[in-house]
Amino acid sequence: MKDRSYQAVTARKNEIMKASMGIDYDEFIITPIAFDYEKMMHKAGYPLDEIFSIQRQTKVADTPLFELTGITKELRKHCAPGMGARIFLKDEAANASGSFKARRASVSVFEAQKRGYAGVVAATSGNYGAAVASQAAQRGLKCIILQEVFDSRGMGQPEILEKGRKCEAYGAEVLQLSVGPELFYYLLLTLEETGFFNASLYTPFGIAGVETLGYELVEQVRSRIGKDPDVVMVTHAGGGNVTGTARGVAKAGAVNVKIHGASVDLSGLHMASDRDFNRKSFTTGHTGFGIPFATWPDRVDVPRNAARPLRYLDGYHLVSQGEVFFVTQLLAVLEGIERGPAGNTSLAAAISMARDMRDDQVIVVQETEYTGAGKHPTAQLSFARNNGIIVRTGDPADNKPGEVIVIPEHLGQIRAREYPLSELRSSYLKNVLRIFPDYVFTEKDYAFLAEELRMSVEGVTREMASLASHL
């Protein structure tokens, strides 16, 4: 019997990860900081046409693209003449399991089946768990999903509990844990003891699966209106949605399309805090993931994260919880589509951005997600009230995460706030300096960081020197 203590299991993480995925990440390492990202994606990925073939076997891809004519019409009432871009929405709720995460899970589960694994494991509180369970059910594999669910009172968010029920409906075993570091420990222990495949969100398999989404939406817009979209708005959490979509857009040859990310502003709430965990009404798509994962992607359950959002983002926007709840209802009332709030984060940001775009321009909201009893705004807002959070209508600028949710009174009040990418890049470099305090940086390191942050080598060098002088 191997030592099952926390320290011993986490010390074995590299060998456990290698055995559970068949990827030797050492092959891509250049220096302690730099690695060959494209080699990693190419080595573990599949050609795009093969990914489409894999996904169509299990009811994934070929989702519809809708023009939101009702919302666009209402938006233009609040715009100057000639303004108000056309808004299109990619309805990813049409995938098996009800979200774009089915694309992400499809390649990982296919890879597990191809390599002869008996089952798959994933640690997630979100739609990804349901996606992995759905794909595993279709390929005849066992599935274990680990969820971070409960605070010290034994309370779980209705959205997380809903997703746990969905995983179980697909035949998965669901292990529900309390808030804290034990999630990663139990993931490692489960992988080691079962010998199952690690269907991590952050492998090249998962990111490659999302590339079909970016490619598909470009082809659909071209077919519909004869040109590429001007902007694709992507809900940003761990970075895989942004990364995969942007790579797919590029593979479609749409070089002038701008990729923008959007997150719910939950500033001031600590995602690992027992108190704060249940004072947020969104389990994903918020700044608690969006900012940390952008500024240090390798904080995940694999040695090198394939999700690298700062390589691809042209802009980053924050919206309030109240704005997203309002837009969720707006989508239902004006377009006859009821979808889950978290997936409407990008729609809220798109509405705000479209106001300042010309009426001949096009912005595509890149995904929706299914809704259900626990994911519905009524359940989430009731849970918020039960946790002492005030819910009221008014100016969403008065929203205070964890204390007050302010739902707008009309569409004209929806105004996303832009978060400077320069601040994210600076934070990334601060993390590099903090994690490697005595490291002597090489030309290869500076070249990697320049590519990672879409900066010049000279710019990275100057910024790091400036930051180092203040540490």
Look at residue 215 in the predicted model and tell me its pLDDT.
98
pLDDT at 471 over 80: no
Residues 6+ apart with CB under 8 A from 389: 279, 402, 403, 404, 405
Domain co-membership, 413 together with 294? yes
Domain co-membership, 76 together with 107? no
Domain co-membership, 179 together with 293? no
**Per-residue pLDDT reduced to its tens digit, 74-132:** 999 999 999 999 999 999 999 999 999 999 999 999 999 999 999 999 999 889 999 99
Residues 6+ apart with CB under 8 A from 437: none
Domain co-membership, 209 together with 345? yes
Residues 6+ apart with CB under 8 A from 209: 51, 55, 103, 104, 105, 106, 107, 108, 244
Mean pLDDT of 31-54: 94
The residue from 177, 202, 227 where one domain ends is 202
The residue from 374, 403, 418 where one domain ends is 418
CATH of the domain at 390: 3.40.50.1100
Domain co-membership, 284 together with 232? yes
Assess if residue 112 is contained within a domain: yes
Assess if residue 109 is contained within a domain: yes
CB of 289 closer than 8 Å to CB of 344: no
Exposed / middle / buried, residue 229 (Cβ in 10 Å: 0-12, 13-18, 19+): buried
| Domain encompassing residue 70 | 61-98+205-418
Domain co-membership, 286 together with 209? yes
Assess if residue 405 is contained within a domain: yes
Pick from 224, 213, 291: nearest CA to 252: 213
Domain co-membership, 240 together with 219? yes
pTM of the predicted structure, to 2 decimals: 0.96
Domain co-membership, 41 together with 166? yes
Domain co-membership, 196 together with 213? no
Domain co-membership, 69 together with 209? yes
Assess if residue 1 is contained within a domain: no
Residues 6+ apart with CB under 8 A from 317: 233, 260, 261, 262, 263, 349, 352, 353, 416, 417, 418, 419
Residue 53 confidence class, pLDDT cut points 50, 70, 90: very high
pLDDT at 271 over 90: no
Domain co-membership, 230 together with 359? yes
The residue from 185, 202, 219 where one domain ends is 202
Assess if residue 189 is contained within a domain: yes
When divided into structural domains, the chain yields a total of 3
Pick from 152, 125, 75: nearest CA to 334: 75
Residue 302 confidence class, pLDDT cut points 50, 70, 90: confident
